[in-house]
């Protein structure tokens, strides 16, 4: 879907196809109301999402109650924002795509990003599908339903924020929030042809995000335009005392330099991101996008990130280790699924987790517990943390010489549903270009750069990834706008 300008609106006022920026103008001009926008979205979801499966639930009544009091003078006044189903909203489900929480769990509080969205005038609307507990790159690992790519329903939307990306791409959401632990915003954004931004670690509060890997997770927006991503980031960024990993640093005006262009900027192109395994169509589109940035005055600088080859291995030690710790809270006692008629307390723990967790979650818990166990901790987890430091230093060295780094988001466009069944390693490798940013804590964004024929003739979207130094979102968005 492409965003439409105010003058291109049809008589049906299909506001779900508009950008936030255009919709704000229409609301301010009195052409519509927040309630009308919500009703328009809610009417389209049963028709369009029946073929996509992005939504797990939506509460129109609660959203309309907020719309009645919407302050249109605020930056996101009256704008509905969809939420990945691992972000807590008071009184709403938060299933994390898992049977463990799908039965009866309702959130007792609002995540900080939800409070910030409301403070900016936005209206939380819709719970969006994901890989279970954000563990996956396809949204096939959801225990509740499979989400499909709006460009080809036989293909994945990417993951784990597949519902967040697919809803924006299909026009059933204006903008959404997702979470990114190893590429889970950027990769589905690339596969669905939308914009997806992972902020720097510590830029956006994680309070109220159900944790997968606490040193890697970050919440960010998925939108139709770079400007919309800047608007949403402006609303959710900032220090939060409820999150000890949230850093107290100034939040710049992300819109101020958005149109400054790339003339005079140095953009690094890492050789490690253009090696074997990249689909020729992806390579061609990304290289063309880089050439267009050069034509706008950017200097293209070849660089090396030599420890990239170890990123996937390090990530799949660190992330499962943290997951095994974080998911220990799901024990059948405090909330979520509880097995019936256990013989004793240990049987209650064992059966509740056996029945409640899916196979990918179990796989990562087992792996994480193993690498943290006595006798193996230093050999695996300790070693992976050292590799992580080397990867971070690679980026620090690169950013001494370049303003941003450009690369593919994923080595291929969206694959067919079921293509990796029985071979999870193939799915893990699809994040090879995104994982390093999470290990280093730096920001990254995916911006659509065209479509290519792939695997049977489908026209599939491809994104260019732009990476910046820690807390360098303003410059990152500036480059992204030029790429757009």
Active site residues: 84, 160, 184
Q: What stretch of H or E contains 391?
A: helix 383-398
Task: For the beta carbon of residue 36, count every other beta carbon within 10 angstroms.
Answer: 16
Q: What stretch of H or E contains 192?
A: helix 186-192
Cβ within 8 Å of residue 431, ≥6 positions away: 137, 182, 183, 187, 312, 315, 410
Assess contact for 133 and 86: CB atoms under 8 A. Answer: yes
| Both tokens assigned to 457 | 């003739």
Residue among 96, 138, 52, 150 at smallest CA distance from 423: 138
Instruction: State the Cα angle at 444 between 443 and 448, rounded to 5°.
Output: 155
Backbone φ, ψ for residue 54 (5° rounding):
-80, -35
In angstroms, the Cα distances linking 217 to 69, 130, 179, 214, 422 are 33, 14, 7, 6, 26
Task: For the beta carbon of residue 235, count every other beta carbon within 10 angstroms.
Answer: 22
- As a whole number of angstroms, the distance between CA 405 and CA 398 comes to 8
Full DSSP string of 43-91: HHIIIIITTT--EEE--HHHHHHHHTT--TTSTTTT-EEEEETTB--TT
Adjacency order of strands within the sheet including 123-128: 55-57, 123-128, 80-84, 176-179, 219-223, 195-198, 444-454, 458-467, 404-408, 266-270, 299-303
Assess contact for 187 and 430: CB atoms under 8 A. Answer: yes
Three-class DSSP category at 195: strand
Q: DSSP letter at 309? A: G
């Amino acid at each position: 879907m492409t965003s439409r300008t105010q003058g291109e609106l049809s008589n049906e006022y299909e506001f779900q196809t508009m950008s936030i920026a255009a919709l704000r103008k229409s609301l301010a001009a009195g052409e519509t109301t927040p309630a009308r926008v919500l009703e328009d979205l809610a009417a389209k979801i049963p028709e369009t999402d029946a073929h996509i499966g992005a939504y797990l639930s939506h509460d129109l009544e609660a959203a309309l109650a907020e719309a009645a009091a919407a302050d249109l003078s605020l930056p996101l006044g009256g704008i509905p924002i969809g939420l990945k189903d691992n972000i807590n909203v008071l009184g709403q489900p938060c299933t994390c795509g898992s049977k463990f929480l799908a039965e009866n769990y309702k959130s007792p509080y609002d995540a900080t990003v939800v409070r910030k969205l409301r403070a900016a005038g936005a209206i939380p609307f819709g719970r969006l599908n994901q890989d279970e507990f954000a563990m996956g790159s396809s949204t096939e690992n959801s225990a509740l339903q499979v989400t499909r790519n709006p460009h080809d329903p036989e293909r994945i939307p990417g993951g784990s924020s597949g519902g967040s990306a697919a809803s924006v791409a299909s026009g059933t959401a204006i903008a959404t929030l997702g979470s990114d632990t190893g590429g889970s915003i950027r990769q589905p954004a690339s596969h669905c042809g939308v914009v997806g931004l992972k902020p720097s670690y510590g830029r956006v509060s994680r309070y109220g995000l159900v944790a997968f890997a606490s040193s890697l997770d970050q919440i960010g927006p998925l939108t139709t335009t770079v400007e919309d991503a800047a608007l949403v980031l402006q609303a959710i960024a900032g220090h939060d005392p409820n999150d000890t990993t949230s850093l107290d640093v100034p939040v710049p005006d992300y819109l101020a330099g958005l149109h400054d262009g790339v003339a005079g900027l140095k953009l690094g192109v890492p050789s490690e991101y253009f090696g074997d395994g990249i689909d020729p169509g992806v390579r061609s589109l990304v290289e063309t996008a880089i050439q267009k940035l050069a034509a706008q005055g950017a200097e293209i600088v070849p660089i090396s990130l030599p420890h990239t080859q170890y990123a996937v291995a390090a990530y799949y030690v660190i992330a499962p280790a943290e997951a095994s710790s974080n998911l220990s809270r799901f024990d059948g006692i405090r909330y979520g699924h509880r097995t019936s008629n256990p013989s004793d307390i240990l049987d209650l723990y064992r059966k509740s987790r056996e029945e409640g967790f899916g196979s990918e979650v179990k796989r990562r818990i087992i792996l994480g517990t193993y690498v943290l166990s006595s006798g193996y901790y230093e050999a695996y987890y300790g070693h992976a943390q050292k590799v992580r430091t080397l990867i971070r230093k690679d980026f620090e060295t690169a950013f001494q010489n370049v303003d941003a780094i450009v690369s593919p988001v994923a080595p291929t466009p969206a694959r067919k549903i079921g293509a990796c069944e029985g071979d999870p390693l193939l799915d893990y490798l699809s994040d090879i270009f995104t994982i390093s940013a999470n290990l280093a804590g730096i920001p990254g964004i995916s911006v659509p750069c065209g479509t290519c024929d792939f695997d049977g003739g489908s026209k599939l979207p491809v994104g260019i990834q732009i990476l910046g130094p820690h807390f360098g979102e303003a410059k990152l968005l500036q480059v992204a706008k030029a790429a757009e």
